[in-house]
Structure 1
């Protein structure tokens, strides 16, 4: 199963350059890297990144994260994946731009189906 992280361009660039990251400012504040499932990613983009352009959707294999990945209750009593270690560049399965068109983030075609 793939899980997803939304990064701003500079955050994605920093991961590529440093090969690891403790995440975005919210991740640093909370002490873990926030992820979403495919079903949660659109709502995450709308809620936390409304109107923000220059984003990237990063896919990570949940199983490869091992015991550092915890599923915890969050928004709407849903279980969200939280990574309790640095995110590594080698964790990334793929990354795609998440363009903003007419106020809506455009997810890659078929991304929900491809995330299984």
Structure 2
């Protein structure tokens, strides 16, 4: 896929632990599925609406796929047949290129950090 930057949504608590330890093995949903779920920029709003509805205190991390093991990244069909980026490895903090709180503008559009 052409998307070099993908996004991971974390709770503030997950983000704090990730930043402190330098690696992220996954959220409970990631661990249950056996891979770390990411979204493209275009997929972030749908992921937020479907999996994080009503939650606040969320962080959006921009991850550079070029800084990940290419053998561990797979683009696989999921919601509606769309290809989603999945990481079959631990996510290193060094691959995170930007972080911001999840916010939406006046039109409801999610503000991406990159």
Per the shorter chain, which TM-score range?
A: 0.7 to 0.9
Report if the CA contact (8 A) 1:32-1:85 is conserved: yes
The answer as to 2:5 corresponding to 1:2 is yes
Q: Give the TM-score taking structure 1 as reference length.
A: 0.86
Residue 91 of structure 1 is matched in structure 2 by: 95
Alignment of 1:1-116 (within 5 A): 1-65=4-68, 66-99=70-103, 107-108=110-111, 111=112, 114=114
- In structure 2, C-alpha distance between the alignment counterparts of 1:93 and 1:58, rounded to whole Å: 8
Tell me how large the CA RMSD over aligned residues is: 2.0
Aligned length: 109
Q: What CA distance in whole angstroms lies between the structure 2 residues aligned with 1:8 and 1:100? A: 16
Unaligned 5+ segments in structure 1 are: none
Structure 2 runs not aligned, ≥5 long = none
Give the CA deviation at 1:99.
3.8
- For 1:50, what is the secondary structure of its paired residue? coil
Structure 2 CA distance for aligned equivalents of residues 99 and 53 of structure 1: 10
Q: Tell me if the contact between 2:65 and 2:95 (Cα under 8 Å) persists in the aligned partners.
A: no
